Structure 1
Amino acid sequence: MPSPTLSDVARAAGVSYATADRVINNRGNVAEKSSEKVRKAVAALGYVRNIAAANLSRGRVYRLAFLIPQGTNAFFERIHQHIILTAEHQQRECVTVEVIKVAAFAVEGLQESILALLERDIDGIAIVGLQSAALEAPLAELRTRGVAVVGLVSDLPQTSRAAYIGIDNIAAGRTAARTVGLSHGGNSGRVQTFVGSMEARDHAERLSGFREVLEADFPFIEVLDPIMTKDDALVLQAQTQELLSNPKLTALYNVGAGNSGLIRALQKAKGKRPFCVVHELVAHSRQALLERHIDLVIDQRPDVEINRAFTVLRALIDEKDLPPMPDLVPTIYVRDNLPADTLTDKMKAQDT
């Protein structure tokens, strides 16, 4: 039996096709009595709105914006490239995308960028978030205006967004701690952690998870107070070079970015270096694994995150239920299981 059409709904409700269309697609200017007739006909017939057809008939364009940190962070450059590649793939589906760079860990800068979007015609926004009450009012205003808002990689205040797309960062920190603990083979040690900013929820959660596991299961390993770096590679390099003179230091864990500086310092290390765990598989962390300057990379699979961000934003804009999606589980890389660098290969191919 064929699925009921909008014409069937209009006929059953005793209204014109145009009236049924206005009710189904929330265009307004329909008397409540007629609207109620259409709703009853929809329920009786089991009519399902064809969103793709409705969007096509209205010339619907999905206007999306991604707010990500600016600077020399290789991970967010990787995020940027995935956004561009996905946007190119979805051009035929009337999706337009703007990437807006915001100063890293700058609450005021992020607040200003969000306020600026209130003056724009935007349907959905994915934001690499910070935890600050200053963001709640502008985000609430965006949502009041019907803009879909999701947190990406690092979450926003939970009441200010419709969804979060990213890994469980507490679990990621716990994973890092487990590998550090096992690397000590039951011996005592000292671990130095590096944190970009405690206002970044992903950084704060990773550090929390890391401490939990070491304190509970490896109490003979001391976790030193974190060094704040703002994800600056030069800061990581200088701090690591100074730390390497301490023979009692047995491990390093960077919860954020700036790993190129940390790696440069480790490349110059004399003798046995500390066990080292970092996040995100990018060119320099891949090479450092191969050359044995670091031991383990925890990667959050940004290609999956970006694809999911597009899917979730479009569902929210269309007022559809979000599709079932499994939890994003980070991948642990050592020098023995590195995947092909497909994104880099694709970017090189585009340049030739």
Structure 2
Amino acid sequence: MRKPTLHDVAAEAGVSYATADRVLNKRGGVAKKSQTRVEAAIAKLGYQRDITAANLSRRRLYRFHVLLPNAAGGFFASLRQLLSEQEEAQRKARQAITITPVPPFDPTALALEIDRAVGAGCDGLCVVAVNHPEVSAALGRARAQSIPVVTLVADSAESDRDCYVGIDNRTAGRTAADLILLSHRSHAQRGLILPVMGSLQARDHAERYAGFCEVVADQMDVLPPLETGDDPTRLNQLLTAALAAEPGITGLYNLGAGVPGLIAALDHRGNDNFAGRPVVVSHELCDATRKAVADGLIDAVIDQKPAQELSQALAALTALSDGLALDPTAGQITPAVHFKHNMPPQPAAGPNKGA
């Protein structure tokens, strides 16, 4: 059965196509009686406007601002690269994407860039949120101007945004805990686990850490987390010192980025002939983690599928800009866990050199 068209609505209401179009687009200049007949015809026929076709006919341009941490490599570099590589697809979808780099874990800088994007004029914001009042206030100012807000990877309070796109970070932390518990089944003593993260101020890191501790706290000893700012050099220095100071560490959970620093520290431990090697679970599938898994330095990688996240974030912004209701499951990403023998094929080309 074909969908009713605006021509069908006009015929049912006994008005011209132009009149039906004026009512639909709320352009005024239509007698109240005719407006009522058109609205009744729309309801009777179940007419639904084709937003995509309408926007194409009006040559609408979606101006989206995407604010991403300016990490030199890894996950967020891959998101920036993916956006650049999709320029042709964005053009066809009439999306003009402005990518703004923001210092990681800097709420003042992020709030400033949100305000700048709003001031420059935009149809939607995609933001990697930081859990801070300045950021919450800036997002509130954007939404007060009816600008849709999508949080990506790291969420904010529900009142600050329209949609979150990403994995359930607390569940991801629990999954990492399950993996480490499985690896310790044969241990006679309680394991000693060291979490490594960028910052507890980042909601994604805080939620992963909380989920991890919920599962392992009663069965293992968890050291205070290393907060590295996702800086590989700092991660290398702090982790090398921690492993030297506490050779009894049996597990590492890297719930942030800075993977090159993680690998360098693990290499150093091996070269210094420390006894044993901790079980290592890390986030973000990239060239560096692929090689580390193959080399036996990392045991499992949790992949949150950046290409899928980006696609869903832009789709959500487009729908919100068109005034459409989102599916309740929109933005939900199911992560994958990769080991040495189930590693997916290497992409032909890609930007994820290191996380």
Give the TM-score normalised by structure 2.
Answer: 0.90
Instruction: Determine if contact 1:194/1:226 at 8 Å carries over to the other structure.
Output: yes
Residue number in structure 2 paired with 1:265: 265
Alignment partner of 1:192 is 2:197: no
Contact 1:86 1:307 survives alignment (8 Å): no
Is 2:289 the partner of 1:285? yes
Task: Name the CA distance, whole Å, in 2 between partners of 1:139 and 1:36.
Answer: 39
Q: Once structures 1 and 2 are overlaid, which stretch shifts more, 138-147 or 28-37?
A: 28-37
Contact 2:129/2:152 (8 A) holds in 1? yes
Conserved 8 A contact 1:244-1:273 = no
- 2:167 matches 1:162: no
Does the C-alpha gap of structure 1 residues 202 and 31 become closer, same or farther in structure 2, counting only changes over 3 Å? farther
Tell me which residue corresponds to 1:294. 298
| Cα distance, 1:236 vs structure 2 | 0.8
Q: CA deviation at 1:79?
A: 1.4
Instruction: Say yes or no: does 1:228 pair with 2:227.
Output: yes
- Any conservation in 1 of the 2:316–2:330 contact (CA below 8 Å)? no
Question: How big is the shift at 1:252?
Answer: 1.3
The question of 1:120 aligning with 2:123 is answered: no
Alignment of 1:43-192 (within 5 A): 43-185=43-185, 186=187, 187-192=189-194
Distance 1:30 1:167, change over 3 A: farther
Q: CA RMSD in A?
A: 2.1
Cα distance change of structure 1 residues 227 and 2 upon mapping to structure 2, 3 Å threshold: closer
With over 3 angstroms needed to count, the CA separation of the structure-2 counterparts of 1:32 and 1:286, relative to structure 1, is farther
Structure 1 position 305 matched with structure 2 position 304: no
Change (3 A) 1:346 1:247: closer
The residue matched to 1:150 in structure 2 has which SS?
strand
Q: 1:130 to 1:113 in 2, by over 3 A?
A: same
Unaligned 5+ runs, structure 1: none
Q: How many residues align?
A: 343
Shift in Å at residue 326 of structure 1? Answer: 8.2
Query: For residues 255 and 29 of structure 1, what CA distance do their matches in structure 2 show?
Result: 59
Q: Secondary structure at the match of 1:91?
A: helix
With normalisation by structure 1, the TM-score equals: 0.90
Alpha-carbon offset, residue 212 of structure 1: 0.4
Identity %: 41
What SS does structure 2 have at the residue aligned with 1:131?
Answer: coil
SS at match of 1:164: strand
2:336 is aligned to 331
Aligned mates of 1:318, 1:192 — CA distance in 2 = 46
Name the stretch that deviates more: 44-53 or 278-287: 44-53
Which residue identity lines up with residue 103 of structure 1 in the other structure?
P
Correspondence 1:212 to 2:214: yes
Give the match's secondary structure for 1:210.
Answer: helix
1:9 corresponds in structure 2 to 9
Q: Cα gap change, 1:28/1:301 in structure 2, threshold over 3 Å: closer, same or farther?
A: farther
What CA distance in whole angstroms lies between the structure 2 residues aligned with 1:27 and 1:224? 64
Q: Which moved more, 1:173-182 or 1:76-85?
A: 76-85
Segment of structure 1 superposing worse, 27-36 or 149-158: 27-36
Q: Tell me which amino acid in the other structure corresponds to 1:234.
A: T
Tell me the SS of whatever aligns to 2:344.
Answer: coil
Q: Could you tell me how far 1:325 is from its partner in structure 2?
A: 4.8
Cα distance in structure 2, aligned partners of 1:164 and 1:120:
23
Residue 197 of structure 1 aligns to a residue in which SS? Answer: coil
Task: Compute the displacement of 1:286 (Å).
Answer: 1.1
Question: Which residue in 1 is equivalent to 2:321?
Answer: 317
CA distance in 1 between counterparts of 2:310 and 2:130 reads 18
Instruction: Report deviation, 1:80.
Output: 1.3
Unaligned 5+ segments in structure 2 are none
Determine if contact 1:25/1:54 at 8 Å carries over to the other structure.
no
Instruction: Report the residue type matching 1:282 in the other structure.
Output: C
Go from structure 1 to structure 2 and tell me whether the alpha carbon gap of 1:26 and 1:130 turns closer, same or farther (over 3 Å shift).
farther
SS of match in other structure, 1:340: coil
Q: Secondary structure at the match of 1:244?
A: helix
